[in-house]
Amino acid sequence: MQECQNNFFKYIKAVGTGPKGNHDLSRDEAEDMMQQILDGSVSSELITAFLLGWRLKPETSDEFLGALLAIDKKSQTTPIQNSIELGYPFDGKAKTPYLLPQISKILQESDLHLVLLGDAPQPAKGGLTIQELFKEHDFAQNTHYFDRSDYCPALHKLTQLRMSLGLRTAFNTLEKLPNISQSDFAITGVHHKPYVKKYQDIFASRYRRFAVIQGSEGTPELLKKGMLWLCEDGKTTEYRIDPLAFDIEKDDVERLAKLNGAILLFVADKFSSIEEAFLSLS
Protein backbone atom coordinates (compact mmCIF):
# COMPACT_ATOMS: atom_id res chain seq x y z
CA MET A 1 0.00 0.00 0.00
CA GLN A 2 2.79 2.42 0.95
CA GLU A 3 4.58 1.73 -2.33
CA CYS A 4 1.39 2.57 -4.27
CA GLN A 5 0.96 5.78 -2.29
CA ASN A 6 4.51 6.81 -3.11
CA ASN A 7 3.95 6.00 -6.78
CA PHE A 8 0.83 8.16 -6.81
CA PHE A 9 2.52 11.09 -5.09
CA LYS A 10 4.33 12.02 -8.31
CA TYR A 11 0.95 12.84 -9.84
CA ILE A 12 0.08 15.12 -6.92
CA LYS A 13 3.38 16.93 -7.45
CA ALA A 14 2.54 17.34 -11.14
CA VAL A 15 -0.69 19.21 -10.39
CA GLY A 16 -0.11 20.68 -6.94
CA THR A 17 3.25 22.46 -6.83
CA GLY A 18 2.11 25.75 -8.32
CA PRO A 19 2.22 27.40 -11.76
CA LYS A 20 6.01 27.12 -12.08
CA GLY A 21 6.22 23.49 -11.00
CA ASN A 22 3.02 22.02 -12.40
CA HIS A 23 3.08 20.02 -15.60
CA ASP A 24 0.52 18.14 -17.66
CA LEU A 25 0.33 14.36 -17.47
CA SER A 26 0.79 12.28 -20.59
CA ARG A 27 -2.12 10.14 -21.69
CA ASP A 28 -0.38 7.04 -20.30
CA GLU A 29 0.28 8.76 -16.98
CA ALA A 30 -3.32 9.87 -16.72
CA GLU A 31 -4.50 6.33 -17.38
CA ASP A 32 -2.16 5.00 -14.67
CA MET A 33 -3.32 7.72 -12.25
CA MET A 34 -6.97 6.82 -12.75
CA GLN A 35 -6.24 3.11 -12.64
CA GLN A 36 -4.68 3.52 -9.19
CA ILE A 37 -7.67 5.53 -7.96
CA LEU A 38 -10.18 2.97 -9.23
CA ASP A 39 -8.17 0.04 -7.87
CA GLY A 40 -8.55 1.44 -4.37
CA SER A 41 -4.80 1.48 -3.80
CA VAL A 42 -4.66 5.21 -3.00
CA SER A 43 -5.92 6.83 0.22
CA SER A 44 -8.89 9.17 0.11
CA GLU A 45 -6.66 12.02 1.32
CA LEU A 46 -4.30 11.65 -1.64
CA ILE A 47 -7.19 11.31 -4.10
CA THR A 48 -8.74 14.50 -2.74
CA ALA A 49 -5.43 16.36 -2.96
CA PHE A 50 -4.96 15.27 -6.55
CA LEU A 51 -8.50 16.12 -7.66
CA LEU A 52 -8.24 19.63 -6.23
CA GLY A 53 -4.87 20.28 -7.82
CA TRP A 54 -5.95 18.78 -11.13
CA ARG A 55 -9.00 21.03 -11.24
CA LEU A 56 -6.94 24.15 -10.57
CA LYS A 57 -4.12 23.28 -13.01
CA PRO A 58 -6.52 22.63 -15.03
CA GLU A 59 -7.15 19.29 -16.77
CA THR A 60 -6.12 18.75 -20.41
CA SER A 61 -7.97 16.79 -23.07
CA ASP A 62 -5.15 14.24 -23.21
CA GLU A 63 -5.43 13.71 -19.46
CA PHE A 64 -9.19 13.21 -19.77
CA LEU A 65 -8.67 10.70 -22.58
CA GLY A 66 -6.15 8.73 -20.54
CA ALA A 67 -8.44 8.70 -17.51
CA LEU A 68 -11.32 7.50 -19.69
CA LEU A 69 -9.25 4.53 -20.85
CA ALA A 70 -8.86 3.43 -17.23
CA ILE A 71 -12.59 3.92 -16.56
CA ASP A 72 -13.42 1.91 -19.72
CA LYS A 73 -11.40 -1.02 -18.38
CA LYS A 74 -13.42 -0.99 -15.16
CA SER A 75 -16.80 -0.70 -16.89
CA GLN A 76 -19.15 -3.45 -18.05
CA THR A 77 -20.68 -2.81 -21.46
CA THR A 78 -24.18 -3.77 -22.61
CA PRO A 79 -24.44 -3.11 -26.37
CA ILE A 80 -27.76 -1.69 -27.52
CA GLN A 81 -28.30 -1.50 -31.24
CA ASN A 82 -29.71 1.63 -32.82
CA SER A 83 -29.24 3.74 -29.71
CA ILE A 84 -28.15 7.22 -28.64
CA GLU A 85 -26.44 7.91 -25.33
CA LEU A 86 -27.71 10.95 -23.45
CA GLY A 87 -25.08 12.63 -21.28
CA TYR A 88 -27.00 14.06 -18.33
CA PRO A 89 -24.99 15.48 -15.41
CA PHE A 90 -24.88 13.24 -12.35
CA ASP A 91 -25.62 16.16 -10.00
CA GLY A 92 -29.11 16.45 -11.43
CA LYS A 93 -31.44 19.30 -12.28
CA ALA A 94 -32.23 21.89 -9.61
CA LYS A 95 -34.06 24.74 -11.35
CA THR A 96 -36.11 23.28 -14.19
CA PRO A 97 -38.17 20.09 -14.63
CA TYR A 98 -37.02 17.25 -16.86
CA LEU A 99 -38.48 16.85 -20.33
CA LEU A 100 -37.08 13.32 -20.49
CA PRO A 101 -40.28 11.44 -19.52
CA GLN A 102 -42.21 13.22 -22.29
CA ILE A 103 -39.36 12.78 -24.80
CA SER A 104 -39.32 9.06 -24.05
CA LYS A 105 -43.06 8.73 -24.78
CA ILE A 106 -42.86 10.83 -27.94
CA LEU A 107 -40.11 8.60 -29.34
CA GLN A 108 -41.58 5.29 -28.20
CA GLU A 109 -42.85 4.50 -31.69
CA SER A 110 -39.52 5.38 -33.31
CA ASP A 111 -36.77 2.83 -33.83
CA LEU A 112 -34.30 4.87 -31.75
CA HIS A 113 -33.34 3.62 -28.29
CA LEU A 114 -32.43 6.12 -25.56
CA VAL A 115 -29.60 5.26 -23.16
CA LEU A 116 -29.38 6.96 -19.75
CA LEU A 117 -26.76 6.60 -17.02
CA GLY A 118 -27.16 7.42 -13.34
CA ASP A 119 -25.97 7.00 -9.78
CA ALA A 120 -26.51 8.40 -6.31
CA PRO A 121 -26.25 12.23 -6.26
CA GLN A 122 -22.81 13.65 -6.99
CA PRO A 123 -21.53 17.18 -6.24
CA ALA A 124 -22.31 19.94 -6.53
CA LYS A 125 -25.74 21.07 -7.78
CA GLY A 126 -27.95 19.07 -5.44
CA GLY A 127 -30.66 18.57 -8.05
CA LEU A 128 -33.01 15.75 -8.97
CA THR A 129 -30.87 13.03 -10.52
CA ILE A 130 -31.54 10.64 -13.39
CA GLN A 131 -31.49 7.78 -10.88
CA GLU A 132 -34.24 9.45 -8.84
CA LEU A 133 -36.19 10.36 -11.98
CA PHE A 134 -36.36 6.71 -13.05
CA LYS A 135 -37.73 5.74 -9.67
CA GLU A 136 -40.53 8.30 -9.99
CA HIS A 137 -41.63 7.81 -13.62
CA ASP A 138 -42.55 5.06 -16.02
CA PHE A 139 -40.57 5.23 -19.24
CA ALA A 140 -41.21 3.78 -22.68
CA GLN A 141 -39.57 0.46 -23.55
CA ASN A 142 -37.13 2.15 -25.89
CA THR A 143 -35.53 3.95 -22.92
CA HIS A 144 -32.77 2.09 -21.07
CA TYR A 145 -31.38 3.13 -17.69
CA PHE A 146 -28.04 1.82 -16.39
CA ASP A 147 -26.94 2.40 -12.81
CA ARG A 148 -23.25 2.96 -12.23
CA SER A 149 -23.26 0.74 -9.16
CA ASP A 150 -23.75 -2.07 -11.68
CA TYR A 151 -21.72 -1.02 -14.73
CA CYS A 152 -18.77 0.62 -12.92
CA PRO A 153 -18.71 -0.18 -9.18
CA ALA A 154 -15.17 1.17 -8.82
CA LEU A 155 -16.29 4.67 -9.80
CA HIS A 156 -19.54 4.36 -7.83
CA LYS A 157 -17.51 3.70 -4.66
CA LEU A 158 -16.00 7.19 -4.90
CA THR A 159 -19.41 8.81 -4.28
CA GLN A 160 -18.92 9.32 -0.54
CA LEU A 161 -15.46 10.83 -1.04
CA ARG A 162 -16.78 13.20 -3.70
CA MET A 163 -19.76 14.24 -1.58
CA SER A 164 -17.46 14.90 1.37
CA LEU A 165 -15.38 17.14 -0.86
CA GLY A 166 -18.55 18.85 -2.08
CA LEU A 167 -16.98 20.38 -5.20
CA ARG A 168 -17.06 19.72 -8.91
CA THR A 169 -14.07 17.70 -10.09
CA ALA A 170 -12.90 16.10 -13.33
CA PHE A 171 -15.29 13.23 -12.63
CA ASN A 172 -18.26 15.51 -13.39
CA THR A 173 -17.02 15.58 -16.99
CA LEU A 174 -15.64 12.06 -17.29
CA GLU A 175 -18.79 10.32 -16.08
CA LYS A 176 -21.26 11.89 -18.52
CA LEU A 177 -20.68 9.60 -21.53
CA PRO A 178 -19.09 6.23 -20.68
CA ASN A 179 -20.60 4.62 -23.81
CA ILE A 180 -21.36 1.39 -22.04
CA SER A 181 -24.10 0.77 -24.63
CA GLN A 182 -21.57 0.99 -27.48
CA SER A 183 -23.82 3.57 -29.15
CA ASP A 184 -22.91 5.21 -32.45
CA PHE A 185 -24.51 8.47 -31.34
CA ALA A 186 -24.34 10.69 -28.26
CA ILE A 187 -25.38 14.12 -27.07
CA THR A 188 -24.60 16.10 -23.95
CA GLY A 189 -25.32 19.59 -22.67
CA VAL A 190 -23.03 22.53 -22.03
CA HIS A 191 -23.42 25.85 -20.22
CA HIS A 192 -20.79 27.87 -22.05
CA LYS A 193 -19.35 27.71 -25.57
CA PRO A 194 -15.66 27.37 -24.47
CA TYR A 195 -16.52 23.90 -23.14
CA VAL A 196 -17.78 22.73 -26.52
CA LYS A 197 -14.30 22.07 -27.91
CA LYS A 198 -13.24 20.34 -24.69
CA TYR A 199 -16.18 17.94 -24.91
CA GLN A 200 -15.49 17.33 -28.58
CA ASP A 201 -11.82 16.59 -27.89
CA ILE A 202 -12.76 14.14 -25.15
CA PHE A 203 -15.83 12.36 -26.52
CA ALA A 204 -16.23 12.83 -30.28
CA SER A 205 -13.85 10.00 -31.26
CA ARG A 206 -15.97 7.55 -29.25
CA TYR A 207 -19.06 7.99 -31.47
CA ARG A 208 -19.93 8.20 -35.16
CA ARG A 209 -21.91 11.40 -34.55
CA PHE A 210 -21.45 13.41 -31.36
CA ALA A 211 -23.41 16.52 -30.40
CA VAL A 212 -23.20 19.24 -27.78
CA ILE A 213 -26.20 21.47 -27.11
CA GLN A 214 -26.87 24.56 -25.00
CA GLY A 215 -29.23 22.67 -22.75
CA SER A 216 -30.95 23.44 -19.49
CA GLU A 217 -28.58 23.12 -16.49
CA GLY A 218 -25.97 21.32 -18.56
CA THR A 219 -28.40 18.65 -19.73
CA PRO A 220 -29.12 17.72 -23.36
CA GLU A 221 -32.57 19.34 -23.05
CA LEU A 222 -33.20 22.54 -25.00
CA LEU A 223 -35.76 24.84 -23.33
CA LYS A 224 -35.03 28.09 -25.16
CA LYS A 225 -33.11 29.45 -28.13
CA GLY A 226 -29.63 27.93 -28.29
CA MET A 227 -26.90 26.28 -30.34
CA LEU A 228 -26.29 22.68 -31.34
CA TRP A 229 -22.80 21.58 -32.37
CA LEU A 230 -22.67 18.32 -34.35
CA CYS A 231 -19.34 16.57 -34.85
CA GLU A 232 -18.90 13.89 -37.51
CA ASP A 233 -15.75 12.72 -39.32
CA GLY A 234 -13.69 15.33 -37.50
CA LYS A 235 -15.86 18.21 -38.73
CA THR A 236 -18.16 20.33 -36.59
CA THR A 237 -21.34 21.99 -37.87
CA GLU A 238 -23.26 24.61 -35.89
CA TYR A 239 -27.05 24.84 -35.84
CA ARG A 240 -29.05 27.64 -34.23
CA ILE A 241 -32.32 26.33 -32.80
CA ASP A 242 -35.17 28.66 -31.86
CA PRO A 243 -38.36 27.08 -30.46
CA LEU A 244 -40.34 30.03 -31.83
CA ALA A 245 -39.45 28.88 -35.35
CA PHE A 246 -41.44 25.72 -34.53
CA ASP A 247 -44.35 27.76 -33.11
CA ILE A 248 -43.42 26.73 -29.59
CA GLU A 249 -44.11 29.08 -26.70
CA LYS A 250 -41.98 29.03 -23.54
CA ASP A 251 -44.41 27.03 -21.40
CA ASP A 252 -45.51 24.55 -24.09
CA VAL A 253 -43.91 21.50 -22.50
CA GLU A 254 -45.33 18.93 -24.91
CA ARG A 255 -44.11 20.71 -28.03
CA LEU A 256 -40.74 21.45 -26.41
CA ALA A 257 -40.42 17.73 -25.71
CA LYS A 258 -41.31 17.02 -29.34
CA LEU A 259 -38.61 19.45 -30.51
CA ASN A 260 -36.07 17.73 -28.29
CA GLY A 261 -37.15 14.36 -29.63
CA ALA A 262 -36.62 15.71 -33.15
CA ILE A 263 -33.12 16.87 -32.18
CA LEU A 264 -32.27 13.36 -30.99
CA LEU A 265 -33.58 11.82 -34.21
CA PHE A 266 -31.47 14.28 -36.20
CA VAL A 267 -28.30 13.63 -34.19
CA ALA A 268 -28.90 9.89 -34.62
CA ASP A 269 -28.97 10.42 -38.40
CA LYS A 270 -32.61 9.40 -38.81
CA PHE A 271 -33.48 12.61 -40.67
CA SER A 272 -31.50 15.13 -42.67
CA SER A 273 -32.77 18.09 -40.62
CA ILE A 274 -34.39 18.90 -37.29
CA GLU A 275 -37.35 20.38 -39.15
CA GLU A 276 -37.96 17.14 -41.05
CA ALA A 277 -37.69 15.12 -37.84
CA PHE A 278 -40.11 17.49 -36.06
CA LEU A 279 -42.72 17.12 -38.82
CA SER A 280 -42.42 13.33 -38.59
CA LEU A 281 -43.54 13.49 -34.96
CA SER A 282 -46.69 15.51 -35.72
pLDDT at 140: 92
Residue 6: pLDDT band with limits 50, 70, 90: low
Annotation: CATH topology of 2-73 = 1.20.970
Query: Tens of pLDDT along 110-156?
Result: 999 999 999 999 999 999 999 999 999 999 999 999 999 999 999 99
Residue % of the chain over a pLDDT of 90: 92
Query: Tens of pLDDT along 231-244?
Result: 999 999 999 999 99
Pick the CATH number of 83-280 from 1.20.1530.20, 3.40.1480.10, 3.40.1030.10, 3.30.70.100: 3.40.1030.10
Count the Cβ atoms, other than its own, within 10 Å of residue 164: 10
**Residues 6+ positions from 258 with CB-CB distance below 8 Å:** 106, 278, 281
Contact 115, 80 (CB under 8 A): yes
Query: Tens of pLDDT along 28-55?
Result: 999 999 999 999 999 999 999 999 999 9
- Given a cut of 90, whether residue 250 has pLDDT beyond it is no
Residue 11: pLDDT band with limits 50, 70, 90: very high
- Given a cut of 70, whether residue 1 has pLDDT beyond it is no
- Given a cut of 80, whether residue 4 has pLDDT beyond it is no
Contact 140, 38 (CB under 8 A): no
Query: Tens of pLDDT along 79-123?
Result: 999 999 999 999 999 999 999 999 999 999 999 999 999 999 999
| Residue 142 φ/ψ, nearest 5 degrees | -85, 5
Q: Where are the domains of the chain?
A: 2-73, 83-280
What is the pTM (predicted TM-score) of this model? 0.95
User: For the residues 166-179, what does the mean pLDDT come to?
Assistant: 96
Residue 282: pLDDT band with limits 50, 70, 90: confident
